[in-house]
Structure 1
Amino acid sequence: MSFSFFNKVWASNESKPPGGTLFVVGDGEVYGEIGLGDMPHVYDPTIVFDMEYESVIDISSSRLHTLAVTRSGTIWSWGCDDYGALGRTGYAASPRPITHPSIRYIRFKKVACGNSMSMAINSKGQLYTWGSFHSDHGIFGYLPNIVIQKYPRIVNSVADLRFIEIAAGASHCLALDDQGQVYSWGCGEFGHLGRPDLQNNENRRLKQCLIPVRLDGLKDIVAIACGAFHSLALDKDGHLYSWGLNHFQQCGLLEKIDDGNINFKQANEVIDRPTMVPYFCEQNAELKRNNDGLSSTRTKMAQNGPRTERFSENNSKNDKEQLTDNYDKPKALLIAAGDYHSVAAMSDNTLRVWGRCDNGQLGIIIYPDYVYPASFKTPEVDRIYAIGYPTSNLWRCSEKIEKIICGAEHTLIMSKYGRVWGYGQNASNQLGLFHCRENVAIPTLLNPINNKGAVVNIAAGDQCSMFVIIEDDKQFVKVEEMC
């Protein structure tokens, strides 16, 4: 089905999430995470053969393995199984369902992949995990008394909670419950658990890091994301919190001071607890000021009648638009994190990006002679490698952004109308742009993907990307073509 003729919109139904056929592009030569058996890489969007007749409703990929959930609520897995992350036995390089007797009657709806750890939420919101965490010194464990968990197991310490979102980094996990509370666990060598009480006590860390604990100071959270060794949490008011490894400024904690310059004193390499990102606090404060100003204007209108100067019929249309533009300051709605970079999708369909940028991770063209605010250079080659202050990459999506997700060094953006853009590293064709086997510096429409049909879900690993493309026209409502 060619997507160029018309756009389609998912007719939302929470009880039946959109499902479709799973396609993959990129490289899986080392671990088989693309799910094509002995085929090491694919340059064109290719159906994952063993799942051709399965309707996939959720998908997640990491550096080492991939998980998918089908319409029946079954989890399929493939990739590296050295540490139990596949949750099953048998051939690892092709998708196979997890059929352990303990989950025979459990229906799952969401999955997330760490490097050697897997997570899932069932239809009741209960949390399951399996695999093992790793540290710089090797295997870290699954629980204090279990090194490797080889099949999905309910997390007993939080079994009474209802979770709505999960995320995994290289060696840690986050889970968001229906009360807006965030839980973290795993290996926290770089502060990415947000639990500073564990940092300086090795024995306590070994015993307690592996148990999910609610993070103090975070409330009303609506979205979470994990980089390799850093974490993000977004609250309902658009305030963003970050913590963990910050050596590429992926936590985004630099802020402007009174003269407009950047205060570099906050460029610490490790952030050991959830810390509000100043940029988004500034944005929300400005929004509140404009909101208060508009409220004051409306109060005056009510007192003085409709013949106020600003809204007089004799005033120009531009005055009204200017007031509206000032009031509608964008706030963060979606977040995502790559290995060492972070992204926020704003309410005006623009992006704010920060962190590592030497392989196009931020969707910004880095000009050699241009001075970027809050940028960091490698002295030996005089090259910018990171930007520490959330920055607009000057691209605006022409359609509402529905989902954004990061691989190790690339980013995918999916619109409400089922189209996908991407940018960042493309050396392994993980963006599906075979004609351009270099870094893609700005968000680019991924036509090889979009020409297959409407995309309803996306996932990004290290050197590959996954796309769920709709299989049933009845699930969509035809709408007018958008430019």
Structure 2
Amino acid sequence: MAPARAAAKKAPAKATAAKASTKAAAAKAPAKAAVVKKHKAADPIAAPAKKGKGPKGLAHTPSVTPPPAKAAAGRKRKADDDVAPPAKKAKALTHGESINDAPVQPLNVFVFGEGSSGELGLGNTKKPPSKDVKRPRLNPYLTPDKVGAVQVAAGGMHTIVLTHDNKILTWGVNDQGALGRDTAWEGGLKDVDAASDDSDDDDDGPGDNGLNPREATPAEVDWSTTELAEGTRFTEVTAGDSASFALTDDGKVYGWGTFRGNDGIIGFTPEVHIATRPILINGLKDITTIKAGMNHCLALDKKGRVHSWGCGQQDQLGRRVIERTAKAEGLKPRDVGLPKGPKKAAVAIAVGTYNGWAILKNGDVYAWGLNSMDQTGIPTGEGDTDATIRPAQRVPALSGIGVTSIAGGGQHAIAATESGDCLVWGRVDADQAGIPVDELSKLPEDILRKDDRGRPRILKVPQKVTAITGNVFQITAGTDHNIAVTKEGKAWSWGFSANYQTGQGTDDDVKIATMIDNTAVREQKLNAAAAGGQFSIVTASANTEMVNGV
């Protein structure tokens, strides 16, 4: 998931603070970096503005200077002066040994939350673009019989889908090439604020809602200028704030878009500023899974080594990147440098806005990156806007308890365990915990830090989300909201809901983990969820009759 690219909605008096940011510049580090390192401080962290279209990024509250605001729908966007042209075809690639399998189960895809920039992929219908989708709605452009999506990944303001017939579709904001295809549109746009109809009906008939239909409608990524080995199959996709990536069956990684830093675009590779079409990511082989944070990416290889590349200004790469060589070295995939040994190979990876985690074969969990709200799980930051973890450090509270997956948000994170529990930690002052305030408030000071008014602010130690009924097996985190999917086929959500990204039909914060329930998903057995900056997606196996609810 990647975040702050849209103007905020009006915020209620109780939450006047807006986009917090931590302009963290890469700090000088000794030869052996300490566990906690400080960057040059910037603005203090503030509580997320309620009822705002605030952070739009992949699961992240901004802690660095956010990218320039997305152009209003009524204006034409100016392309960056040095956008790289599509990569020329290289010499023929050969297909290696297949080490990854592609998903095969076609999915029904339900979307909800912010949709004014085409994030929901509902096309250029007559529905007003200013209207958010309050509850899960079946996306009519992704029907199992015509498309057959098998995996979905949400970025800051765009989404990427892998289909059963080896296609990759994208939709949403394409400002820096994140969609991997041409979305130029001369059909005319109108300001999203001009829309006046806020009805909540389900009439998605033809019309013009002011969106660019080539962004707002799912369409295939353009591979015409990309060299692919014959027989290549894609097995996984992932999305960041302004970039997307795809993994192949033989362990290659392709990507498009760009990475951003404190001062704007850093680049996509040392040679390419913005990749408008897919290019091969050099320096990676035998990769088994990929995960994109806001402006960095992790890849796990078959030997259990974790590789990172992108922006490293908040130590999200888990390795030292010297400022003067940041472009040359940060944009090249390099080993994070986790402990070595047969039982210490990584078996899973995870990302947050500016974080990374690795789950090792022996059950240990390692973390790195920004730790301003103890979001790594290591209680050292406690409100210090510039605290980071580098190199990767073992997380005692998460090690040896059977953690199977982790999802990082803006400044909080959640985890699923073998026993079906959902754990949460980090920032909790916008109801990111999903735990009743009175229950949180009883926790001792060594576990919970409160603000000046005595309200819960930082969970230093992971705690169980007790309201969830069922066994959690899949999780996702947005900027300040979360979704957990149980083996029983239900999805539970909580947190910041200003744009209905929780799918609960309310723009008030969802304080306690609550099951998502409406006519669209009630009879479905949900199997996955993906959270973008201010929108979300849930999926179900396509084997039951569909109801298009609201």
TM-score of the aligned structures, taking structure 1 as reference length = 0.77
Q: What residue is the counterpart of 1:172 in the other structure?
A: 296
Q: Give the corresponding residue for 1:300.
A: none
2:450 is aligned to 377
What is the count of residue pairs matched by the alignment?
399
Q: Which residue in 2 is equivalent to 1:253? A: 378
How big is the shift at 1:278?
1.8
Shift of 1:192: 0.7
Q: 1:315 corresponds to which residue?
A: none
- 1:157 counterpart SS class: coil
Query: How far off its partner does 1:264 sit?
Result: 7.4
Relative to structure 1, the CA distance from residue 16 to residue 210 in structure 2 (aligned partners, 3 Å threshold; closer, same or farther) is closer
- Residue in 2 aligned with 1:366? 437
Counterpart code for 2:358? A
Q: Which letter maps to 1:460? A: A
Closer, same or farther: CA 126–233 of 1 in aligned 2, 3 Å: same
In the TM superposition, residue 344 of structure 1 has moved relative to its aligned partner by: 1.6
Identify the match of residue 183 of structure 1 among 293, 307, 311.
Answer: 307
Deviation at residue 388 of structure 1 after TM alignment: 1.6
- How far apart are residue 266 of structure 1 and its match? 11
Summarize deviations over 1:353-389 as a string: whole Å, max 9, x none.
111111121222223964544323333x443221121
| Residue 445 in structure 1 maps to residue 515 in structure 2 | yes
Query: Which segment drifts farther, 421-430 or 79-88?
Result: 421-430
Larger displacement relative to structure 2 (212-221 or 359-368): 359-368
Tell me what 2:420 maps to: 349
- AA at the equivalent of 2:238: A
Whether 2:359 is the aligned partner of 1:234: answer yes
DSSP-derived class of the 1:170 partner = coil
Shift of 1:247: 0.8
Separation in 1, partners of 2:315, 2:508 = 33
Residue 113 of structure 2 is matched in structure 1 by 26
Query: What's the counterpart of residue 9 of structure 1?
Result: none
Match of 2:222 in 1: 99
Q: Which residue of 2 aligns with 1:420?
A: 491
Q: What does 1:46-445 align with in structure 2 at a 5 Å threshold? A: 46-52=137-143, 53-90=146-183, 91-101=214-224, 102=226, 106-158=232-284, 161-196=285-320, 198=321, 201-218=322-339, 219-254=344-379, 269-281=387-399, 284=400, 330-367=401-438, 370-372=442-444, 373-379=446-452, 381-395=453-467, 397-399=469-471, 401-434=472-505, 436-445=506-515
* Larger Rg over CA atoms: 1
Distance apart, 1:336 and its partner CA: 1.2
Instruction: Give the TM-score, by structure 2 length.
Output: 0.68
After superposition, the CA RMSD in angstroms is 2.6
**Cα pair 2:397 2:461 within 8 Å, conserved:** yes
Q: Structure 1: state its 5+ residue gaps.
A: 1-12, 256-262, 285-329, 475-483
2: CA distance, partners of 1:215 / 1:229: 14
Contact 2:102-2:235 within 8 A present in 1 as well: no
- Whether contact under 8 Å (2:309, 2:333) holds in the other structure is yes
Task: Report which stretch shifted further, 362-371 or 163-172.
Answer: 362-371
Match of 1:92, SS state, is helix
Q: Tell me how far apart the structure 2 counterparts of residues 417 and 18 of structure 1 sit (CA, whole Å).
A: 18
- The aligned residue for residue 104 of structure 2 is 17
**Between structures 1 and 2, the one with greater helix share:** 1
Kindly, what percent of the aligned residue pairs are identical? 31
Distance 1:267 1:395 in 2: 31
Deviation of the 1:103 alpha carbon: 6.0
Shift of 1:268: 7.4
Alignment check: 8 A CA contact 1:363 1:441 kept: yes
Q: Distance in 2 between matches of 1:179 and 1:150?
A: 32
- Residues 204-257 of structure 1: CA distance to partner in whole angstroms, max 9, x if unpaired? 2221000000121244212211111111111122211111111111011129xx
Moved over 6 A (4+): 263-268
Structure 2 residues without counterparts, runs of 5 or longer: 1-99, 184-213, 546-550
